[in-house]
Chains A and B, each alone.
Chain A
Amino acid sequence: MSQVPADLQYTKSHEWVRKLDDGTVEIGITDHAQHALGDLVFAEVPDKGRVLAAGEACAVVESVKAASDVYCPVAGEVTAANPELARTPELINQDAFGRGWLLRLKPAGGAAGALLSATEYEALLRAEGS
């Protein structure tokens, strides 16, 4: 069973969301997702200032065997992209919930949408047979 930190929110497409103290949110892919992809060799992250809709493809993670779109869990404007990933995309494998974060954004407000709690995400992983 993969790690699923209790203090984060999740999506059915295996992204995680962390609320930061300054009101922005940090977004990445889950430990389960990095494990399924295998060794990551490249991550394409959005530019600062880009306005994203919830569910929009916002990043691409590429491993030795697959490339996947990352879907934005909440609508908002990108405030930062992880600069370390250009040289060390393997951070996503090593520390999916920490140094492997993909982007930060300022939420547009409005309905938070259908994010999952840690318990709900664990149930989803069990249902998917992980």
Chain B
Amino acid sequence: MAFIPHTEADVAEMLAAIGVASIDQLFDEIPASLRVRSLAGIPDALNEMQIGKLMSARAETDGRPLCFIGAGAYEHHIPAAVWAVATRGEFYSAYTPYQAEASQGTLQVIYEYQTMIASLTGMEVANASLYDGASALAEACLMAVRANRKSKAQRVLVPRCVHPHYRKVASAAAGNQAVRFEEVPYSAAEGRTLASTLARFEGQDITALVIQQPNFFGVLEEVDALTNWARERNILVIAVVNPTSLALLKPPGEWGAGGADIVVGEGQPLGVPLCSGGPYFGFMTTRMTHVRQMPGRLVGRTVDTSGRDGFTLTLQAREQHIRRARATSNICTNQGLLVTAATIYMSLMGPQGLLRVAQASHARASELVAALTRVPGVRNVFPSPYFHESVVALDRPVAPVLQRLADRGILAGFDLTEHYPELGHALLVCATETKTSAEIERYANALGDVMKAARAA
């Protein structure tokens, strides 16, 4: 459908119909003292040519480095067809398709997306997406508080090995709504959360437990044991997962005896480029028993008056335009374009293609860890199984080493010193299917040179 704004003539006709002289008059009820008249500090508008130059100049500062940073955003090969199709005029809007009669194609794409994500996570129902992985976790915590009516405490247990940015966003967004977050330490030997650590919460009123798989260190958690511990105590399980990894690992719907209750994650690995950090999209799935507590839009399949298949937004009565202040969230489908790309990516890859991406990523990451730990002064930190990233430790501060490698065009990993000072000089490294053996060797050799030079200095 065409998204063309109304013309001046349309506006004049609409104002005449309601007997109002100007659009400004519609805002008369806002007192003059509250209106901002000048936009000092906001730069002048740029035209398309000017904005093109500005964006090119900024993009050039990124250069074309060889990237071994994961930490929540992952470089994967994106088939050219993904964005060729996603940017077709029929799809090229992020706007929520409220008008079912004019948006059947867009609604069907979202419906197919929901079906694929629900299937990938092993859950019953998905929403039409959220802003990103971190905000999806915040929404999941709020949803768990609404859904777990046996718990009064609004307490959510969050392991320390959950992505630090996710933890920060969740506590910023949900903390002001009286959700209390408590950190669960990880095993220093294994780099993962042990069910035995949870014993300290025995007998307490806990609303939900967050489990990230793989966790921020790339390590695989003992998801069955953790899920069972929570479910046996009426604690809801919120899974945070990497969608690529699910081609290889057990989906959260099958964790333990009963599976997770709410599954969220970052959708970027599914066909969305790194793009200097965004926009990305978040996904969320759950069981049908919790569907009315799920935030955001949801597309359903139905039949029209002639019995033909059709698609429409459904379960909207809980949402902001109807429930106002008591709505479950103010989330819309702003990330629709990215969801379209992800749907096309998943369609092109299929289960077999995604499995091959996951297997190749794991193989490359293993090769990377082996190559780096052969460098003198570098050791592996956790002996646990991992997916496509892992923690290595250097015998000297990480930041200067990363700088030297960046000077050679290599982004060598994510420095863990700030978020996990207890790990010493620790570095989180990642390799996906995009890295060749030659590139891994180039990184290992460069690291060897830099470490040798640093020792000599």
Contact = CB atoms under 8 A, between A and B. Distances in A.
A49 to B, nearest CB: 11
Interface residues of A, number: 12
Nearest to A42: B292
A112 interface: no
B306 to A, nearest CB: 20
Contacts of A47: 149
A67 B323 CA distance: 6
A6 B317 CA distance: 33
B326 A69 contact: yes
Contacts of A41: 317
Interface string B15-42: 0000000000000000000000000000
A67 B322 contact: yes
Main secondary structure of the interface of A (DSSP, over half): strand
Contacts of B149: 47
Nearest to B318: A67
Contacts of A62: 292, 317-318
A62 B319 CA distance: 11
A87 interface: no
A114 interface: no
Contacts of B292: 42, 44, 62
Nearest to A50: B149
A82 interface: no
Contacts of A42: 292, 317
A65 B317 contact: yes
B161 to A, nearest CB: 34
Interface of B: 149, 292, 317-318, 322-323, 326
Interface of A: 41-42, 44, 47, 57, 62-67, 69
Given A62-B292, A67-B323, 18 more contacts: A41-B317, A42-B292, A42-B317, A44-B292, A47-B149, A57-B326, A62-B317, A62-B318, A63-B317, A64-B317, A65-B317, A65-B322, A66-B317, A66-B322, A67-B317, A67-B318, A67-B322, A69-B326
